[in-house]
Amino acid sequence: MTHINRVVVGLNEEKKSAVILRDTPNYQEVPGMVWRSTLWATTELPVDNQIPGDRSLGVVIREPAENGLMFRVLELPPDPKDPQRHFAFVQEMNEKLKQKYQPTEEDQARHPTMQPYRHLRLRRRRVW
């Protein structure tokens, strides 16, 4: 599992700025397929920081609310070990999250021009 150290700053009981949450936020993981964590989610803009509690808990939608916002970390491996299982998982998640369009197997296929890089190295401000 990826470790995310989220720090949320807000007002304490004395109405002064303070760290109100310091944790690894809610995350969903299916080993070998996906790891994601919703860091922050709201249903309003501008954001009302007076609402108590962790605003990211219980968020299961993929897109933010009409007048809200969402910050999420997402890890997807470049080549799933079991493409059929991965495709079934994507379809199941899209139905659960009420996505408008289901992907086809063709959408999931690697394009011939995609390179199978596993990582990038940043060196002297250049991508190698």
Q: What digits encode the pLDDT tens for the residues 89-116?
A: 888 888 887 788 888 878 877 777 766 6
Beta bridge pairs of residue 74:
36
102 or 24, higher pLDDT: 102
Put residue 6 in one of left, alpha, beta given phi > 0 → left and psi -120 to 50 → alpha: beta
Asked whether the predicted pLDDT for residue 120 surpasses 70, the reply is no
- Residue found by looking up tokens 């808990």 in the block: 57
Q: How far apart are CA 117 and CA 78, in angstroms?
A: 8
38-76, pLDDT tens digit by residue? 888 888 888 777 777 777 777 777 788 888 888 888 888
Contact 78, 116 (CB under 8 A): yes
